[in-house]
Amino acid sequence: KYIVSASDDETIKLWEVKSNNCKSIKTFEGHTSGVNSATFSSDGKYIVSASWDKTIKLWEVEGDNREAIKTFEEHTESVKSATFSSDGKYIVSASGDKTIKLWEVEGDNRKAIKTFNGHTGIVWSAAFSSDGKYIVSASSDNTIKLWEVNSGKCIKTFKGHTNIVVSVAFSSDGKYIVSASDD
Mean pLDDT of all residues in 88-103: 98
Q: Which amino acid is at 114?
A: K
Mean pLDDT of all residues in 155-181: 96
Selected residue with higher pLDDT from 65 and 81? 81
Phi and psi based region of residue 54 (left: phi greater than 0; alpha: psi -120 to 50; beta: remaining): left
pLDDT tens digit sequence for 118-166: 999 999 999 999 999 999 999 999 999 999 999 999 999 999 999 999 9
**So what's the pLDDT on residue 20?**
77
Its pTM stands at 0.94
